[in-house]
Structure 1
Amino acid sequence: MNRHTLWWVGALLVALLSVLGIFLYLVAKPYQEQIDHGPSPAAQANPYLAAEMFLRERGINVSHAESLAVLPDIEPHGHTLLLFNDRSRMTPRQVDQVLNWTRAGGRLVFVAESLWDEQSKQSNDLLLDRVQLHQSLSKDLKESPADQEKDPYPKLTKLYLEDEDAPAYAGFDTDFHLDDPKNLAQAWANSAKATHMMQLAYSLGSITVVTDAELWKTTAIAQYDNAWLLWYLSADTDVTLIYNTEHDGLLTLLWRYFPQAIVALLALIGLWLWQAGVRHGPLQAPAANGRRQLQEHLRASADFMLRHNGQQALLQALQQDVLRRARRRHPGFDQLNVAEQWLALSRLTRQPTRAISQALSPVPNRRMSSADFCRQVAHLQTLRNTL
């Protein structure tokens, strides 16, 4: 290919590129696109991050903790404590600590976590029981269709304030209802059917109980007047928010970032165990048959059954054997109730009914001490041998 031909090929390529550029300039239009990468790691770790940011924007100092260990360092006056964490393991001492802090002038806001049990006259929420409020299911309340028809927003909770014509609306979970049997509450907020927030004075402080705190999480705080309500409950104070955050465990983090090292470590441990398990020296000769006695066989069999079946299985077998012998000795034994069976066994074995009740009581699931286990076996064997 000569120089003249190369010049024409180059000119043709330049012309084609020019035409393509003009076409793209006339046809192509720039545009912007937003790609949602989901919540940030900080928002995923803290479900109340938006609530904290909202309060800080309004000049409120906000801190958070995962336990009540920070409470002794918090001055009650001018401070609000938000208990949004799981309190199922809260001890009576911690309940006293929180209420004493509130009594000294603090504001306490917490979520009712358990339903009131009419039979036991308590709930599993120690803090809720101490403030003498009860929580129940809204579906258990009497229906009031007329009131619901008048309410344009029956699913929203209304909070009425003085000098305000319209109420504030909050998105509480309407499945739960708060009840005040002692008439201690000074303010409350209701939906069309149930009450979802109550406020009561507590010496120098105040307590606010709500049915849930989901409305203040990042996904719901922007709805209705949810954010305003949180500000209203903590206005003119500093805020400490206590909640549990989920963290990956050490083993999860190690496996995520160092899988090869963990596999190598497990391989080394396996090799070490294999090497340590290699037998050194000659095999031990089996014991002579003449040395083995019946007592050794019985003890070995008992140890085997205890290891594999547990204490409960052995005790239950003894109890069943005692009852089986009692049926043979006393016709109609199965038709008797438990107390009558114990009286019948007392007459047959000449043992006190207290000893019989202890021996035949249901076996506990927990592991018994060696002394208690031997004592129980001895009682059952005495009854069985007597029968």
Structure 2
Amino acid sequence: MNRRAWPVMLGALIAVLLGTLSVWLYLKATPYPVEIDHGPSPQAQANPYLAAEHFLRKQGLNVNHADSLDILPSLEPHRHSLLLLGDRYNMTPRQIDQVMNWARAGGRLLFVAQSLWDEKTGQSNDRLLDRVQLHQFLSKDLKEPPPDNESDPYPNLTKLYLENEDAPAYASFDPAFHLEDPKNLAQAWANSGKATHMMQLNHGLGSIIVVTDADLWKTPAIDQYDNAWLLWYLTADTSVTLLYDTEHDSLWTLLLRNFPQALVALLALIGLGLWHAGVRHGPMQQPVPTARRQLQEHLRASADFMLRRSGQHSLLQGLQQDILRRVRRRHPGYDQLGVAEQWRVLSRLTGQPTLAISQAMGPRPKQRLSSAEFSRQVAHLQTLRNAL
């Protein structure tokens, strides 16, 4: 057989084998469906009430969500439900007034009690809850649990009883919290085996609903028990606006989360700039030896300091006062003499002309003297003082 035919035959044999293997695998393989769970979508991760929104829309309700109470003036209260499901610790008294007035005008307000009642201070950290005069406590702190708890088959579930219904609706509110109505203002409520978890109050033309928590309407708890039905029941026949994310990350937090390397580089650049600006330029100047300082330098420095601190007029006045003290000792009764007579006495004692004495001892103008004039005045006064 020709050597050139061997590669062709070998290739054909390999092709036949691969074809046979493919047919066998096709006949033996059994297709079956597989569901791969990729976890929640980004929208579901960002919105814990996304499933609740979809459910309410399927019931025919118009549902929107907001990030702040700034949208309140644009919400028509009539046939509208506002659900405050997020943190409200930054809520101002003015915003509380706006929300209460909105409900009074016909809106349906639902919010979550966020703080426990403090018996000592007579208030809680939830201003909106205090405004509706409801108190929240821990269920374990209740003094007298409701009777007949032993006959309740679901003590941890909240029961809502409706007219013409034989069995209640069940909701999975957190049983650790309890709402109390000390003023008997509530028109409806729902209880678990030990506590009350939902209360409804009439407020003007509208109503206010207070719940102990809203986790039962988050994903995936909303499909348990009658949680979804309860949310629809509380918002039925209204448009719904959900407010649950009022806390937004600051710019610094977003930069740190998304650009940490850039921030580190920026900080390093700032540090290098500060270090460069703080470096000394040129050699350090050595301190002047103390032996070089003479008495004349100290006197000159003291005179410069007094001139800067007290001014020319203070120094001249000091010399004049010294002259007057000396002449009083030499001539008793000097102060009782007139000015002209005083100058004549000074002229006689010092041997200086009266004109020079009047120029030296007379009142000085307030304007600053030139250096030459100041030196001349000091020389005249020193001459008079030395002569006394």
Deviation at 1:34, TM superposition (A): 1.7
Deviation at 1:18, TM superposition (A): 2.4
Structure 1 residues 4-51: Cα deviation after superposition (integer angstroms, max 9, x where no partner): 322331232123112311221232222222221111111111111111
Q: Distance in 2 between matches of 1:64 and 1:73?
A: 13
SS in 2 for 1:221: helix
Contact 1:143 1:193 in 2 (8 A): no
Q: Distance in 1 between matches of 2:94 and 2:151?
A: 46
Deviation at 1:182, TM superposition (A): 1.2
Equivalenced residues, count: 291
1:40 and 2:23 correspond = no
1:172 and 2:173 correspond = yes
Structure 1 residues 322-347: Cα deviation after superposition (integer angstroms, max 9, x where no partner): xxxxxxxxxxxxxxxxxxxxxxxxxx
Q: Distance in 2 between matches of 1:249 and 1:52?
A: 27
Aligned partner of 1:71 in structure 2 is 72
Aligned partner of 2:13 in structure 1 is 12
Contact 2:146 2:193 in 1 (8 A): no
Deviates more, 1:25-34 or 1:245-254: 245-254
Aligned partner of 1:361 in structure 2 is none
Deviation at 1:281, TM superposition (A): 3.5
SS in 2 for 1:11: helix
Deviation at 1:176, TM superposition (A): 0.5
SS in 1 for 2:178: strand
Question: Superposed, which structure 2 residues align to 1:279-294 within 5 Å?
Answer: 279-286=280-287
C-alpha root-mean-square deviation of aligned residues, in Å?
2.6
Aligned partner of 1:239 in structure 2 is 240
Q: Distance in 1 between matches of 2:204 and 2:91?
A: 23
| Distance verdict in 2 for CA 1:249–1:282, change over 3 Å | same
Q: Distance in 2 between matches of 1:253 and 1:111?
A: 28
Residue identity over aligned pairs, in percent, reads: 71
Q: Distance in 2 between matches of 1:38 and 1:55?
A: 23
Question: Superposed, which structure 2 residues align to 1:311-330 within 5 Å?
Answer: none
Q: Distance in 2 between matches of 1:156 and 1:244?
A: 27
1:55 and 2:56 correspond = yes
Aligned partner of 2:274 in structure 1 is 273
- Structure 1 unmatched runs, 5+: 292-387
Q: Distance in 2 between matches of 1:257 and 1:138?
A: 43
Deviation at 1:197, TM superposition (A): 0.3
Q: What letter corresponds to residue 212 of structure 1 in structure 2?
A: D
Structure 1 segments, 4+ long, off by >6 Å, are: 287-291
State the TM-score, normalized to the length of structure 1.
0.69
Aligned partner of 2:299 in structure 1 is none
- Structure 2 unmatched runs, 5+: 294-388
Aligned partner of 1:230 in structure 2 is 231
Deviates more, 1:62-71 or 1:260-269: 260-269
Structure 1 residues 233-273: Cα deviation after superposition (integer angstroms, max 9, x where no partner): 11111111111266655455546665665555455444433
Question: Superposed, which structure 2 residues align to 1:196-215 within 5 Å?
Answer: 196-215=197-216
Deviation at 1:144, TM superposition (A): 5.2
SS in 2 for 1:227: helix
Q: What letter corresponds to residue 90 of structure 2 in structure 1?
A: R
1:104 and 2:105 correspond = yes
Q: Distance in 2 between matches of 1:287 and 1:60?
A: 89
